[in-house]
């Protein structure tokens, strides 16, 4: 292997830090051999901290109504070919009950930015879930809101918040979003969430339109600096009703490469093998775990609405019942020597 590449990989493993130029070198000079070495080191780090345990997060996609118009996203407001839905707080609560029965101890409530769900409605819902399932973590993924709103939901019992930064490069961000959306505000929201006390999830799509080796290197440096507790990365997959319908999807290989690098940058990070990764390859999630991921997010949404929360083409598991997903994942993980556990799955910052 190229001596410099090897030196960078070893330094990353030891120091968890490289310069932006060095991250870019790692990306530009990717080889199969480097990828295999990174995966070996990353999965060893993950095993040292989390053993062979895989944490589940049950995701309830409760509304596909969105006021935003992100150019890559299937539920963007300009997509007129989509039947829109909203689940009531009672329906969302019932999804959590079903998830609890299936052994899930983290619920992720995710939606488009739907103004219907006011702070009053959401705070009531969060405190009801928290009251009924005090042993569970509540993760929100509702997009950009005010500090007051984030604070209120935290006070109601939410513990974690997923808000992918999408890209750490402002000019790139502006090519993926309309002018009314702001890179600075997205980054500000991440800071605010951290200040309030949430465990915060950042992340980006691999292979998003206009992404370059430089923007990716900036993403890695951002993750190194911010050290999010969670990091969601999955391939960009085009959606037929978006302006990026003809852009090719990100690849399995590149996504695995970044999963391994991110595990080495921030060893305790909770790193999902995403549904998008399972969509581009039938064994994508297993391969993600073997590359250093330690979280899987099965869907708890009612089967009737799953088809309508399609952020991208051909999303998997939209026809399955939650129980089927749970059992399928048990089997998939046991075939590669991992075990799904009934656990909140908090970050283990102390074990490095």
Residue numbers of the site for ligand SAM (CB under 6 A)? Answer: 72-73, 110, 112-113, 141, 143, 163-164, 166, 205, 234, 236-237, 239, 276, 311-312
- Is 73 or 95 the residue whose CB approaches ligand SAM more closely? 73
**Closest of 60, 117, 63, 119 to residue 93, by C-alpha:** 60
Sign of the Cα pseudo-torsion (317, 319, 321, 327, in order) = negative
CB of 6 to ligand SAM, least distance (A): 32
Q: In angstroms, what is the minimal distance from the CB of 3 to ligand SAM? A: 36
Q: Which CB, 131 or 282, lies closer to ligand SAM?
A: 282
Per the structure block, which two tokens stand in for 166?
Answer: 């999408």
- The minimum distance between CB 215 and ligand SAM, in angstroms, equals 14
156 vs 193 by CB, closer to ligand SAM: 193
As a whole number of angstroms, the distance between CA 248 and CA 275 comes to 18
CA angle 158, 161, 164 (to 5 degrees): 170
**What would you measure as the largest C-alpha separation in the chain, in angstroms?**
58
Closer residue to ligand SAM (CB): 236 or 257:
236
Neighbours of 309 (CB within 10 A): 23
* DSSP state, residue 147: H
- Specify the residue, 123 or 297, whose C-beta has the smaller distance to ligand SAM: 297
CB of 269 to ligand SAM, least distance (A): 17
Q: Extract the runs of DSSP E, i.e. beta strands, from the chain.
A: 53-56, 58-63, 106-111, 137-141, 160-162, 199-206, 230-235, 295-296, 339-341
Residue 45 or 311 having the CB closest to ligand SAM: 311
CB of 110 to ligand SAM, least distance (A): 5
Question: Residue 260 CB, nearest distance to ligand SAM (Å)?
Answer: 20
């Amino acid at each position: 292997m190229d001596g410099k590449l090897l030196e960078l990989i070893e330094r990353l493993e030891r120091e968890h830090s490289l310069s932006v130029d060095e991250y870019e070198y790692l990306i530009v000079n990717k080889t199969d051999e480097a990828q295999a070495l990174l995966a070996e080191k990353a999965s060893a780090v993950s095993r040292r901290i989390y053993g062979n345990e895989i944490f589940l997060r049950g995701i309830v996609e409760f509304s596909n109504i969105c006021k935003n118009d992100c150019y890559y996203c299937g539920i963007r407001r300009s997509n007129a070919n989509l039947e829109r839905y909203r689940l009531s707080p009672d329906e969302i609560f019932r999804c959590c009950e079903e998830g609890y029965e299936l052994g899930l101890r983290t619920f992720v409530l995710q939606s488009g930015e739907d103004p219907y769900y006011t702070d009053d409605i959401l705070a009531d819902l969060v405190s009801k879930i928290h009251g009924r399932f005090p042993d569970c973590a509540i993760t929100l993924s509702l997009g950009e809101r005010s500090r007051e709103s984030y604070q209120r939901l935290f006070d109601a019992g939410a513990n974690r918040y997923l808000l992918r930064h999408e890209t750490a490069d402002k000019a790139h961000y502006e090519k993926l979003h309309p002018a009314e959306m702001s890179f600075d505000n997205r980054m500000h929201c991440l800071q605010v969430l951290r200040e309030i006390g949430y465990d915060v999830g950042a992340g980006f799509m691999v292979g998003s339109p206009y992404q370059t080796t430089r923007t990716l290197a900036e993403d890695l440096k951002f993750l190194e600096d911010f050290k999010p507790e969670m990091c969601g990365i999955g391939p960009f997959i085009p959606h037929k009703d978006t302006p990026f319908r003809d852009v090719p999807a990100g690849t399995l290989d590149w996504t695995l490469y970044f999963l391994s690098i991110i595990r080495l940058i921030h060893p305790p990070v909770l790193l999902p093998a995403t549904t998008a990764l399972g969509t581009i390859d039938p064994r994508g999630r297993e391969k993600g775990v073997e590359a250093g991921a330690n979280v899987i997010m099965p869907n708890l949404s009612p089967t009737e609405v799953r088809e309508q929360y399609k952020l991208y083409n051909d999303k998997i598991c939209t026809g399955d019942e939650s129980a089927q997903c749970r059992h399928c994942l048990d089997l998939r993980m046991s075939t590669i020597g991992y075990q799904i556990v009934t656990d909140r799955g908090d970050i283990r910052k102390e074990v490095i």
